[in-house]
């Protein structure tokens, strides 16, 4: 099982580069910037417009051990504690120690962060952090990070280029096949990095941009890359949803003092965790769902305690306040109804410390990868930091491998033949998202996962649309991984196995062989 697209390299136009990076978020841009700086000819491909990424939507900030009362050791301990027993210590050490350097690099690139009257960085606190270490820019930190990185990237960037297949033979990647303006084109390179973001967009209710549907992870799976920890999906506790959209209400809002209340106006988080609203995200998410069932009503986020602390919420959270008022809600005067939604994908393509996958020449970075740095539950605001740190490291890993490769792409005679359909159906990507939300969501069980596996298998075997088949195959891998983990840990909660089990204190893996057994 490999291609979902028919192609012949002899019939398609092509371009050749030293390196190809797929994705224009923080991970892809940082990787591209460093590759260009060390002398490689780079082409960066992005599915939508250059600024369309999860990075651009990030509100809260970047966790970094810069305050005088903080240290990489303290940040490391918080990361490990939040990860529910599955954080890889070596990866976490790299994150917290190199993170300080990478944030300084970002500031040198022109990224702006909030400062006090002395010009010193301001820090805020978010869930499960023992100190205030989050640097931020209003409530649109990601937009500022994206701006700074885009302005620093000097290589080629192709917009509206949807990568559909790898150019691969045996266990080696030679480039990618992309649809550019509706026409297939080949991009050859001895080293390729997948930085396409995560798969939370495969859920009906999510905070991701429309482009984040796990494309790169699904492609890597089809071509034989080993995936890791697919069952772990982080659901953000506080989003506002109506019939038209869901949008995130940053954890920084709770960090500044907002509280969660039920329909009776009762603050309830103390019933579930001693850190109240600043408990780890998985705890807060399940507490909201539990309290909703107990009371039979909405859960609300009350901003008003923030202003009692002397903080103007319009100045601190201008984007959120404006958006809520557009929806007819004034957070200065009334609590805001909130609900958990799919937010961040912890699992992904298994990589080493320099982003190498199990396919030669193929790298992965950012949310598309699984470094193990987040364990079973990501510590708030470690995601942008991971993009910066491992974007830099992956560039050097790619450079190292590129130096020893001299490939003659003219000798390649690669073709792709799409996997045949059993029958042709009219399933859409919305059907995949609905199955995932209803059956592989916040609360799972053997019964719900069986339904998901059956339906996703049907969709994957019968839809002729690339996005639908690729999404269904990845969704199927997620559901099977969740079925195999018979416990609850971090972002994975099984109603029929509600506690952690020591025999499952290990990382899971999923490969093309597992998928072929199902189809």
Q: Among positive and negative, which fits the CA dihedral 326, 329, 330, 335?
A: negative
At 49 the three-state DSSP class reads coil
CA pair distance 454, 232, nearest whole angstrom: 20
CA pair distance 20, 32, nearest whole angstrom: 8
Please name the residues in contact with 324: beta carbons below 8 A apart, sequence gap of 6 or more.
240, 330, 331, 336
pLDDT attached to residue 483: 98
At 378, the pLDDT band (50, 70, 90 cuts) reads very high
Nearest CA among 347, 323, 350 for reference residue 336? 323
Q: What is the CA radius of gyration of the chain?
A: 22
Catalytic residue, candidates 281, 316, 444, 469: 281
Mean pLDDT (the chain, rounded): 93
CA pair distance 511, 221, nearest whole angstrom: 6
Residue 515 has pLDDT above 90, yes or no: no
Region 7-232+346-411: CATH code: 3.50.50.60
Residue 410 has pLDDT above 70, yes or no: no
Q: What is the arithmetic mean of pLDDT over 413-420? A: 66
CA pair distance 322, 314, nearest whole angstrom: 8
pLDDT attached to residue 112: 96
Could you confirm whether domain 233-343 is CATH 3.90.1150.10?
A: no
CA pair distance 206, 241, nearest whole angstrom: 9
CA pair distance 72, 97, nearest whole angstrom: 6
- Residues of the chain with pLDDT > 90, as a percent, come to 83
CA pair distance 401, 152, nearest whole angstrom: 24
Q: What is the arithmetic mean of pLDDT over 5-11? A: 84
What does the DSSP assignment read for 65-115? S-STT--HHHHHHHHHHHTTT---HHHHHHHHHHHHHHHHHHHHTT----B
**What is the value of pTM for the model shown?**
0.94
At 345 the three-state DSSP class reads strand
Residue count (the chain):
519
Tens digits of residue pLDDT in 127-177: 889 999 999 999 899 999 999 999 999 999 999 999 999 999 889 999 999
Count how many Cα atoms sit within 13 Å of the Cα of residue 468 in the half-sphere of its side chain: 23
Residue 44's beta-bridge partner residues? 21, 157
Residue 517 has pLDDT above 90, yes or no: no
For the chain, how far is it from start to end, CA to CA, in angstroms?
A: 10
CA pair distance 515, 512, nearest whole angstrom: 5
Q: Where are the domains of the chain?
A: 7-232+346-411, 233-343
Residue 317's beta-bridge partner residues? none
CB 336 within 8 A of CB 308: no
At 52, the pLDDT band (50, 70, 90 cuts) reads confident
Residue 498 exposed, middle or buried by CB count within 10 Å (0-12, 13-18, 19+): exposed
- What SS3 string covers 53-64? CHHHHCCCCEEC
Specify whether 485 is catalytic. no
Long-range contacts of 492-501 (CB under 8 A, 24+ apart): 492/231, 492/232, 492/233, 492/376, 492/444, 493/282, 493/286, 493/442, 493/443, 493/444, 494/444, 494/445, 494/446, 495/443, 495/444, 495/445, 496/445, 496/446, 496/447, 500/84, 500/85
Residue 24 exposed, middle or buried by CB count within 10 Å (0-12, 13-18, 19+): buried
Beta strand segments in 371-504, E: 415-416
Q: Among positive and negative, which fits the CA dihedral 377, 74, 56, 43?
A: negative
CA pair distance 363, 348, nearest whole angstrom: 12
Nearest CA among 299, 354, 421 for reference residue 98? 354
Please name the residues in contact with 507: beta carbons below 8 A apart, sequence gap of 6 or more.
86, 228, 229, 372
Tens digits of residue pLDDT in 282-318: 899 999 999 999 999 999 999 999 999 999 999 999 9
Nearest CA among 407, 473, 389 for reference residue 216? 473
Question: Nearest-5° angle of CA 197, CA 167, CA 208?
Answer: 15
At 417, the pLDDT band (50, 70, 90 cuts) reads low
Question: Nearest-5° angle of CA 438, CA 87, CA 258?
Answer: 60
- Residues of the chain with pLDDT > 70, as a percent, come to 96
Between 157-161, 206-210, 431-435, the lowest mean confidence (pLDDT) is in 206-210
**Nearest-10 crossing angle of helices 141-152, 383-403:** 20
Neighbour count for residue 431 (Cβ, 10 Å): 20
At 477 the three-state DSSP class reads helix
CB 44 within 8 A of CB 157: yes
CB 381 within 8 A of CB 62: yes
Residue 413's beta-bridge partner residues? none
Between 289-293, 414-418, 510-514, the lowest mean confidence (pLDDT) is in 414-418
Strands 191-194 and 19-22: parallel
């Amino acid at each position: 099982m490999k291609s979902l697209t028919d192609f012949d390299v002899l019939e398609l136009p092509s371009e050749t580069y030293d390196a190809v990076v797929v994705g224009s978020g923080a991970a892809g841009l940082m990787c591209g910037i460093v590759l260009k700086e060390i002398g490689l000819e780079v082409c960066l491909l992005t599915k939508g417009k250059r600024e369309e990424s999860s990075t651009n939507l990030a509100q809260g900030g970047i966790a970094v051990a810069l305050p005088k009362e903080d240290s990489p050791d303290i940040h490391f301990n918080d990361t490990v504690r939040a990860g529910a027993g599955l954080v890889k210590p070596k990866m976490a050490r790299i994150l917290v120690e190199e993170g300080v350097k990478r944030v300084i690099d970002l500031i040198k690139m022109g990224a702006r962060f909030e400062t006090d009257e002395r010009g010193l960085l301001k820090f805020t606190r978010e869930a499960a952090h023992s100190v205030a270490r989050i640097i931020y820019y209003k409530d649109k930190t990601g937009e500022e990070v994206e701006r700074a990185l885009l302005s620093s990237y000097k290589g080629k960037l192709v917009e509206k280029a949807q990568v559909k297949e790898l150019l691969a033979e045996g266990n080696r990647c030679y480039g990618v096949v992309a649809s550019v303006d509706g026409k297939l084109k080949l991009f050859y390179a001895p080293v390729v990095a997948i930085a396409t973001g995560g798969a939370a967009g495969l859920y009906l209710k999510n905070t991701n941009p429309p482009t984040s549907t796990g494309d790169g992870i699904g492609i890597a799976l089809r071509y034989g890359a080993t995936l890791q920890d697919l069952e772990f999906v982080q659901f953000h506790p506080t989003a506002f949803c109506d019939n038209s959209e869901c949008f995130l209400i940053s954890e920084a809002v709770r960090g500044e003092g907002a509280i969660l209340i039920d329909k009776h106006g009762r603050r309830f988080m103390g019933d579930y965790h001693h850190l109240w609203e600043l408990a780890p995200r998985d705890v807060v998410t399940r507490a909201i769902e539990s309290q909703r069932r107990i009371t039979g009503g909405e859960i609300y986020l009350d901003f008003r305690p923030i202003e009692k602390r002397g903080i103007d919420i319009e100045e601190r959270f201008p984007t959120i306040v404006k958006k809520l008022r557009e929806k007819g809600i004034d957070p200065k005067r009334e609590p805001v109804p909130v609900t958990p939604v799919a937010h961040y994908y912890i699992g992904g393509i298994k990589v080493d410390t320099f982003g190498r996958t199990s396919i030669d020449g193929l790298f992965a970075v950012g949310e598309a990868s699984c470094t193990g740095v987040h364990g079973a539950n990501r510590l708030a605001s470690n995601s942008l930091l991971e993009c910066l740190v491992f974007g830099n490291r992956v560039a050097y890993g790619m450079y190292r491998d590129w130096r020893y490769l001299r490939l003659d792409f003219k000798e390649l005679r690669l073709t792709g033949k799409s996997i045949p359909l059993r029958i042709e159906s009219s399933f859409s990507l919305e059907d995949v998202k609905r199955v995932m939300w209803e059956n592989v969501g916040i609360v799972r069980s053997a019964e719900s996962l069986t339904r998901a596996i059956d339906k996703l298998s049907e969709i994957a075997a019968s839809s002729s649309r690339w996005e639908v088949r690729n999404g269904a195959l990845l969704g199927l891998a997620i559901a099977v991984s969740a079925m195999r983990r018979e416990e609850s840990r971090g972002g994975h909660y099984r109603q029929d196995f509600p506690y952690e089990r020591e025999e499952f204190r290990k990382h899971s893996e999923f490969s093309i062989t597992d998928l072929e057994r199902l189809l």
